[in-house]
């Protein structure tokens, strides 16, 4: 092999090596872009799942709050009805008491006037 052939092979080897390095850089850039796209997709999917989960938790909490509110409202109505029944029963006693007191005052006044 002559010196010029050796030099030509070296130049060809350098050219091939440069092409391989250039291809490696291109492949690396493509891999980085693909990895970033995949990361964005994973983040987007994760955020969507997190939002869906948060929405589900909110709906569940709202349902529980609504049930609790209904229980409290029903208990309040029951308590109010019991108080109303008790008060209604006391009205007759109060009227009888006031009537008796009024009669005593009227009798006392009548006796004092006589």
Specify the pLDDT at position 42: 98
- Please measure the distance between the N-terminal and C-terminal CA atoms of the chain and give it in whole angstroms: 161
Whether 114 shows a pLDDT value over 70: the answer reads no
Condensed to tens digits (0 to 9), the pLDDT of residues 11-26 reads 999 999 999 999 999 9
Condensed to tens digits (0 to 9), the pLDDT of residues 40-66 reads 999 999 999 999 999 999 999 999 999
Specify the pLDDT at position 4: 85
Condensed to tens digits (0 to 9), the pLDDT of residues 61-91 reads 999 999 999 999 999 999 999 998 888 778 8
Specify the pLDDT at position 102: 85
**Integer Cα distance of 13 and 5 in angstroms:** 12
**Integer Cα distance of 27 and 50 in angstroms:** 34
pTM of the model as a whole: 0.53
Domain boundaries of the chain, sorted by first residue: 1-80
């Amino acid at each position: 092999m002559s010196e010029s052939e050796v030099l030509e092979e070296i130049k060809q080897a350098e050219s091939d090596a440069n092409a391989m390095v250039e291809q490696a850089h291109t492949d690396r850039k493509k891999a980085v872009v693909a990895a970033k796209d995949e990361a964005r997709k994973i983040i987007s999917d994760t955020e969507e799942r997190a939002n869906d989960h948060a929405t589900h938790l909110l709906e569940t909490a709202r349902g529980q709050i609504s049930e609790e509110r209904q229980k409290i409202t029903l208990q309040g109505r029951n308590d109010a009805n019991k108080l109303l029944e008790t008060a209604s029963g006391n009205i007759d006693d109060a009227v009888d008491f006031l009537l008796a007191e009024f009669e005593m005052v009227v009798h006392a006044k009548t006796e004092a006037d006589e």
